[in-house]
Amino acid sequence: MLNRSFYQINDFDAMYDHMNDGLSFVEGQEISNTVLTFAIKQGNVLAFQYFYKRFYMKLLVQLKLLSNNHHLAEDLCQETFVRLWENKQHLDPERSLTAYVRKIAHNLLVDMVRKQTLQKVYDHQYQIAKPSIDSVSIQMDRKEFQVHLEQALQLLPKEKQKIYRLSREELLSYKEIAKLENTTPKAIERHIARTNSFLKKYLAEHLDVVYCLLLCLFY
């Protein structure tokens, strides 16, 4: 279990009146990614609360489906928003905020899976049993995962590689990529979907189940 709670950052309820830029963040109001990210970057607590309320449940459901543990998913989700707030000065308003947050959650989940698996291996180090998801996953660290992912990407046409990297590595939105590629966001979405389908199939043949699940959720 993680040691920190989301509410240990600050007493957010006591800070609702803190507005330093005059923006209004109310339920149901649509705020652009650029404006919202910039406001959070500047330390606007209401902007942070607005994003938290809109995205928390979506992220929690994703983490719960993958971990199959509601309490662990809650801890990871809260820690993700803690990290977002603590590192808000590094935010880029021109990049997708939700993609950035998913990346944080992805890294936390991978680390958590590794720690839990290590503990299980240590607890049963004198037992000889058939390979399980846990014992196999401990053999696959993040570096090896990235090696296999890169190998799979190299099998794709250059243009598909470029679009994928812009989305997953540069964290650009479909709309932003579409502008760069002189096409439509829907076309970019189809490109990414086909690329993801190929990557999942390739990695399913080369990686253990845990990492394939991580790929399916976050890639």
Average pLDDT over all residues of the chain:
75
- pLDDT higher than 80, residue 192: yes
Per residue in 135-144, pLDDT (tens digit) is: 444 445 566 7
For residues 217 and 39, the model is more confident at 39
For residues 83 and 120, the model is more confident at 83
pLDDT (0 to 100) of residue 153: 86
Q: Would the CA dihedral through 72, 75, 77, 79 be positive or negative?
A: negative
Lowest mean pLDDT among 22-31, 125-134, 139-148: 125-134
CATH of the domain spanning 13-137:
1.10.1740.10
For residues 144 and 82, the model is more confident at 82
Residue boundaries of the structural domains of the chain = 13-137, 140-219
- pLDDT higher than 90, residue 26: no
pLDDT (0 to 100) of residue 22: 46
pLDDT (0 to 100) of residue 29: 60
- pLDDT higher than 80, residue 129: no
For residues 121 and 165, the model is more confident at 165
Q: How confident is the model at residue 87 (pLDDT cuts 50, 70, 90)?
A: very high
pLDDT (0 to 100) of residue 47: 92
- pLDDT higher than 90, residue 70: no
Which residue bears the tokens 């090696």? Answer: 147
Between CA 171 and CA 145 the distance in angstroms is 19
- Cα separation values, 55 from 33, 62, 80, Å: 13, 11, 11
pLDDT (0 to 100) of residue 82: 94
Give this prediction's pTM.
0.48
Those residues with Cβ within 8 angstroms of residue 49's Cβ, 6 or more apart along the chain or in another chain: 12, 16, 25
Between CA 219 and CA 215 the distance in angstroms is 5
- pLDDT higher than 60, residue 187: yes
Name the CATH topology of 140-219: Arc Repressor Mutant, subunit A (1.10.10)
